[in-house]
Structure 1
Amino acid sequence: MKKLFVLAAVVAFLASCGRGDRGMVVGAKGKAWHPEKPYGMTLVPGGAFIMGKSDDDFAATNNAPTKTVTVPSFYMDETEITNAEYRQFVYWVRDSIFRTRLAIMADDNGSTPGDDGIGEFAFLDADESTELTPWEQYYQDNYAGMGETGYEGRKLNHDVDLIWDTEDIPDEFYAEVYDSMYIPFEEMYNGQRTLDVKKLVFTYSEMDIQKAARNPKDKRSKYITQTPVEIYPDTTVWIRDFNYSYNEPMHNDYFWHEAYSDYPVVGVNWKQAKAFCQWRTLYHNAFRKERGRHNVNAYRLPTEAEWEYAARGGLEGATYPWGGPYAKNDRGCFLANFKPLRGDYAADQALYTVEARSYEPNEYNLFNMSGNVAEWVNSSYDAGSYEFMSSMSPVVNDENNMRKGVRGGSWKDISYFLQVGTRDYEYADSARSYIGFRTVQSYMGTDVTLNAATN
Structure 2
Amino acid sequence: MPGRKLLAGFGIFSFAIFMASCGGEVSQTTGTAYNDPDAGGFEKPEFDEQQTGPGLVFIEGGSFVMGRTETDLNYEWNNEPRKVTVSSFYMDETEVTNLAWTEYLYWLSRVYGADYPEIYTNALPDTLVWRSKLGYAETHVKYYLRHPAYRDYPVVGVSWLQANNYCKWRTDRVNENILIQQGLFENNPNQINDDNFSTDAYLAGQYESGKRKEGLPAYDPNKEFRNVGIKDGIFLPDYRLPTEAEWEYAALGLIGESFNERIENRKIYPWSGNFIRNDDASGNYLGDINDNFTRGRGDLMGIAGALNDGADITANVYKYFPNDYGLYSMAGNVSEWVMDVYRPLTSEDADALNPFRGNVYRTPVLTSDGLVQDKYDIVEYDTENVLKFFQDFQTKAQEDAASSGVPIIPEEEQLMNTLVTMGEEAVDLYNKRQRDAANEKIQEAVDLIKDSETVISPLLLDGLSDHVTNVPGQLRMRDVKVEENTRRINYKESDNIDYQDGDLYSSIDYATPGEYGEKESMYHWQQTSLIDNRARVYKGGSWADRAYYCSPATRRFLDERMSSNKIGFRCAMSRLGDPVQGGQRK
Q: Same fold (TM over 0.5)?
A: yes
- Give the whole-Å Cα distance in 1 for the aligned partners of 2:324 and 2:318: 14
Asked if 2 retains the 8 angstrom alpha-carbon contact of 1:46 and 1:71, the reply is yes
1:64 aligns with 2:115: no
Letter in 2 for 1:261: R
Equivalent in 43, 52, 56 of residue 29 of structure 1: 43
1:38 aligns with 2:170: no
1:372 aligns with 2:316: no
* Bigger mean CA offset, 332-341 vs 267-276: 332-341
Cα pair distance change 1:257/1:273, threshold 3 Å: same
Residues 93-148 of structure 1, C-alpha deviation per residue, up to 9 Å, x if partnerless? 000014x64xxxxxxxxxxxxxxxxxxxxxxxxxxxxxxxxxxxxxxxxxxxxxxx
Aligned pairs for 1:415-430 within 5 A = 415-430=547-562
Letter in 2 for 1:325: N
Equivalent in 230, 234, 245 of residue 122 of structure 2: 230
- Give the whole-Å Cα distance in 2 for the aligned partners of 1:285 and 1:450: 22
* Bigger mean CA offset, 439-448 vs 372-381: 439-448
Cα pair distance change 1:70/1:31, threshold 3 Å: same
* Bigger mean CA offset, 340-349 vs 393-402: 393-402
Cα pair distance change 1:24/1:200, threshold 3 Å: same
Equivalent in 536, 539, 547 of residue 407 of structure 1: 539
Match of 1:439 in 2: 571
Q: Secondary structure at the match of 1:274?
A: helix
Match of 2:98 in 1: 83
Cα pair distance change 1:311/1:18, threshold 3 Å: closer
How far 1:332 sits from its partner (Å)? 2.1
Letter in 1 for 2:155: V
Residues 256-280 of structure 1, C-alpha deviation per residue, up to 9 Å, x if partnerless? 1111110000000000000000000
Match of 1:201 in 2: 119
Asked if 2 retains the 8 angstrom alpha-carbon contact of 1:86 and 1:265, the reply is yes
- Give the whole-Å Cα distance in 1 for the aligned partners of 2:84 and 2:141: 41
Residues 392-434 of structure 1, C-alpha deviation per residue, up to 9 Å, x if partnerless? 0110112861110111110000111111111111110111111
Match of 1:280 in 2: 170
Aligned pairs for 1:244-393 within 5 A = 244-290=134-180, 291=182, 292=184, 294-314=234-254, 315=257, 316=263, 317-330=266-279, 331-347=286-302, 348-393=309-354
Cα pair distance change 1:94/1:333, threshold 3 Å: same
Cα pair distance change 1:25/1:386, threshold 3 Å: farther
Cα pair distance change 1:277/1:58, threshold 3 Å: same
Cα pair distance change 1:200/1:284, threshold 3 Å: farther
Asked if 2 retains the 8 angstrom alpha-carbon contact of 1:46 and 1:450, the reply is no
- Give the whole-Å Cα distance in 2 for the aligned partners of 1:374 and 1:451: 34
How far 1:19 sits from its partner (Å)? 8.3
Cα pair distance change 1:365/1:19, threshold 3 Å: closer
Letter in 1 for 2:46: A
* Bigger mean CA offset, 325-334 vs 365-374: 325-334
Q: Secondary structure at the match of 1:230?
A: helix
How far 1:65 sits from its partner (Å)? 0.9
Asked if 2 retains the 8 angstrom alpha-carbon contact of 1:264 and 1:373, the reply is yes
Residues 303-346 of structure 1, C-alpha deviation per residue, up to 9 Å, x if partnerless? 00000000011145310000332111223221110000111111
- Runs of 4+ residues over 6 Å off in structure 1: 16-20, 449-453
Asked if 2 retains the 8 angstrom alpha-carbon contact of 1:377 and 1:407, the reply is yes
- Give the whole-Å Cα distance in 2 for the aligned partners of 1:446 and 1:21: 24
Asked if 2 retains the 8 angstrom alpha-carbon contact of 1:313 and 1:363, the reply is yes
Letter in 2 for 1:350: A
- Give the whole-Å Cα distance in 2 for the aligned partners of 1:431 and 1:58: 25
Q: Secondary structure at the match of 1:252?
A: helix
- Give the whole-Å Cα distance in 1 for the aligned partners of 2:578 and 2:139: 48
CA RMSD of aligned residues (A): 2.7
- Give the whole-Å Cα distance in 1 for the aligned partners of 2:105 and 2:533: 28
Letter in 1 for 2:564: R
Match of 2:512 in 1: none
Aligned residues: 315
Aligned pairs for 1:112-151 within 5 A = none
- Give the whole-Å Cα distance in 2 for the aligned partners of 1:234 and 1:50: 36
Residues 335-384 of structure 1, C-alpha deviation per residue, up to 9 Å, x if partnerless? 11000011111122210000001110000000000100000000011110
Asked if 1 retains the 8 angstrom alpha-carbon contact of 2:61 and 2:579, the reply is no
- Give the whole-Å Cα distance in 2 for the aligned partners of 1:305 and 1:452: 25
Letter in 1 for 2:267: A
- Give the whole-Å Cα distance in 2 for the aligned partners of 1:380 and 1:73: 22
- Give the whole-Å Cα distance in 1 for the aligned partners of 2:570 and 2:143: 22
Asked if 2 retains the 8 angstrom alpha-carbon contact of 1:237 and 1:267, the reply is yes
- Give the whole-Å Cα distance in 1 for the aligned partners of 2:51 and 2:24: 31
How far 1:435 sits from its partner (Å)? 0.4
Letter in 1 for 2:59: V
Residues 217-263 of structure 1, C-alpha deviation per residue, up to 9 Å, x if partnerless? xxxxxxxxxxxx81111101001xx2211000000000011111100
* Structure 2 stretches lacking a partner, 5+ long: 1-14, 35-41, 185-227, 229-233, 258-262, 280-285, 303-308, 359-496, 499-531
Letter in 2 for 1:268: V
How far 1:450 sits from its partner (Å)? 12
Cα pair distance change 1:18/1:39, threshold 3 Å: closer
Q: Secondary structure at the match of 1:249?
A: helix
Residues 139-189 of structure 1, C-alpha deviation per residue, up to 9 Å, x if partnerless? xxxxxxxxxxxxxxxxxxxxxxxxxxxxxxxxxxxxxxxxxx9xxxxxxxx
Asked if 1 retains the 8 angstrom alpha-carbon contact of 2:53 and 2:236, the reply is no
Match of 2:356 in 1: 395
* Bigger mean CA offset, 395-404 vs 375-384: 395-404
